[in-house]
């Protein structure tokens, strides 16, 4: 199971969308250099209000470009970084990864998957109806959150569009991703 980095994005402010750039740098145990969500403890404003000492399991946000393709087909013109992701991937089933899967992004950077991003109402501020479009149901009727995954940085390094992504699965039994 391998993929490719399609785009990278960073924002120093707490904005929904993150501007694309030609490279980002991951910092060990912190997140994306210069990004508002980087840090050892939570940075998401609603989570900080609840408990600012909670460990930051949301240092890096990844979304699969195939979601953008799906959303475009449904009439939502959304591109890399617009939904707040730092890394847009292609060719990798992010939502099918288990907790603690490791992704090697390019030659040096490694992130450990912590869980799903729970879509929020801010998506509707980008495009009305976008939040509902990032939710679905599986064959058993269970809610499927499609807005990407969250990870923590285990090894820092530079990431650029075109870099390969290699997946290392944790030992079994695998745990399904839940919102973090």
**Tokens describing residue 145:** 């959150």
pLDDT at residue 46 in the model: 84
Nearest Cα neighbor of 123 from 16, 15, 9, 8 is: 16
Omega of the bond prior to 88 within 30 degrees of 0, cis? no
pLDDT confidence band for 47 (50 / 70 / 90): confident
pLDDT higher than threshold 80 for residue 143: yes
pLDDT higher than threshold 90 for residue 1: no
pLDDT at residue 45 in the model: 82
**Tokens describing residue 35:** 């990004």
Give CATH for domain 2-168: 2.40.33.20
Instruction: Kindly state the average pLDDT of the residues 43-47.
Output: 85
Q: How confident is the model over 2-13, as pLDDT tens digits? A: 999 999 999 999
Instruction: Kindly state the average pLDDT of the residues 151-165.
Output: 98
Instruction: Kindly state the average pLDDT of the residues 83-106.
Output: 98
Q: How far apart are CA 164 and CA 107, in angstroms?
A: 8
Mean pLDDT score of the chain: 96
Percent of the chain with pLDDT over 90: 95
pLDDT at residue 60 in the model: 98
Percent of the chain with pLDDT over 70: 100
Q: How far apart are CA 132 and CA 178, in angstroms?
A: 18
Are residues 61 and 150 in contact, defined by beta-carbon separation less than 8 angstroms?
yes
Q: How far apart are CA 118 and CA 135, in angstroms?
A: 9
Instruction: Kindly state the average pLDDT of the residues 1-28.
Output: 96
Sign of the alpha-carbon torsion through 71, 75, 78, 79: positive
């Amino acid at each position: 199971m391998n993929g490719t980095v399609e785009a990278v994005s960073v924002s120093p402010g707490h904005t929904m969308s993150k501007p694309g750039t030609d490279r980002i740098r991951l910092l060990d145990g912190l997140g994306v250099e210069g990004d508002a969500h980087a840090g050892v403890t939570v940075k998401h404003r609603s989570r900080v209000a609840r408990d600012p000492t909670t460990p930051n399991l949301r240092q890096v946000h990844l979304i699969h470009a195939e979601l953008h393709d799906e959303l475009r087909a449904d009439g939502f013109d959304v591109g890399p970084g617009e939904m707040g992701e730092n890394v847009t991937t292609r060719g990798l089933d992010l939502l099918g990864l288990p907790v603690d899967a490791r992704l090697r992004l390019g030659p040096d950077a490694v992130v450990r998957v912590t869980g799903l991003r729970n879509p929020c109402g801010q998506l509707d501020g980008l495009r009305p109806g976008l939040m509902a479009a990032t939710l679905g149901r599986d064959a058993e009727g269970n809610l499927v959150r499609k807005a990407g995954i969250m990870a923590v940085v285990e090894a820092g390094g530079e990431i650029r569009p075109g870099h390969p992504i290699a997946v290392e699965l944790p030992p079994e039994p695998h745990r399904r991703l839940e919102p973090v």
